[in-house]
Chain A
Amino acid sequence: MSSENSDDTLAPPPATPTTTVMLVEPDVLARMVIAEYLRGCGYTIVEGVSADDVFAVVDSGRKIDIVFSEVTLIGEVDGFALSKQIRATHPNIDVILTQGVTSAAERAGRLCEDGPLDGPYHPQEVARRINLLRERRRTSKKV
């Protein structure tokens, strides 16, 4: 947050409440890694798998600042339609749409740059970790 007033003797700016990101991702391994990464960047993360989850949380009165959503979701509403609904009903909520792990990792990295803390690791590591977990799951099914 920038200020035109450069007087260093002023009291520090008031603490801002934690930004809450609703992460909507139907792949549990991707969601687990991205959620951990964004929490490490200082965000409060609420996890969901569907548009219904988003509206259940918002309707509960919980303040959501950003919806970070995969395009393909569980349920009848996809990320595009979810984004449209949110913009119509809750224009104060920002929406970030992603498609696939690479896109999600890249957008998470950019979100982290704007976050209150330095990222726990490079955003490229997000995609690598997701792919590693997916590979482990795939090979364990053969056992």
Chain B
Amino acid sequence: MASAARYSPNGDKNHKTVVLVVEDEVNARTAAAEYLREAGFIVIEAWNGDEAVAIFRSQTHIDVVFSDVRMPGSMDGFTLERWIAEHYPATPVLLTSGVLEIRGNAISDYGRRFMSKPYIFADVEQRIRDLIGY
């Protein structure tokens, strides 16, 4: 488990990568968030897509999003991913689901930006590092 500290664009050597974890199941979210904090990331937790949007709208800096697909609220993970792509195109999104047949073949379009459940935390960490190029 390597440190997630990295150089920020403004030269802050102590900048840590901020991961937004979006998951409605509390134990799954807590476990993922705690693993990623141990890995050195700053982790913000959201219960659903609406909360994730509220966090973005509060101008809180987010480097990468790790989101479940099926969630309560007005948007699922696919809708959240499209919202982020429209408003924050530089912020990568890693989606996860235990249901592989969601929307037919849509999942195959996501390639490395999708992980099926159950996942191994170390794989999530590596996939996040791949997405942010660190």
Could you tell me which A residues sit within 8 Å of B by CB distance? 28-29, 31-32, 35, 46-49, 53, 56-57, 60, 62, 74, 133-134, 136-137, 140-141
Q: Is the CB of B45 within 8 A of A47?
A: yes
Does B85 have its Cβ within 8 Å of any Cβ on chain A? no
Does B57 have its Cβ within 8 Å of any Cβ on chain A? yes
Q: Is the CB of A57 within 8 A of B27?
A: yes
Instruction: Known A28-B47, A29-B54; judge A133-B30 contact (CB<8 A).
Output: no
- Which residues of chain B come closer than 8 Å to A134, judged between CB atoms? 58
Could you tell me which B residues sit within 8 Å of A by CB distance? 25-27, 29-30, 33, 44-47, 51, 54-55, 57-60
Q: Is the CB of B26 within 8 A of A29?
A: no
Number of A-B contacts (CB under 8 A): 47
CA distance A60 to B29 in the complex (A): 13
Q: Is the CB of A133 within 8 A of B60?
A: yes
Most chain B Cβ neighbours within 10 Å, of A28, A47, A48, A56: A28
In the complex, 15 of the A-B residue pairs with CB atoms within 8 angstroms, ordered by the A residue number, are A31-B45, A32-B60, A35-B45, A46-B30, A47-B30, A47-B33, A48-B26, A53-B26, A60-B27, A74-B47, A133-B58, A133-B59, A137-B57, A140-B58, A140-B59
CA distance A28 to B57 in the complex (A): 12
What residue in chain A is nearest B29 (Cβ atoms)?
Answer: A47
- Which residues of chain B come closer than 8 Å to A137, judged between CB atoms? 54, 57-58
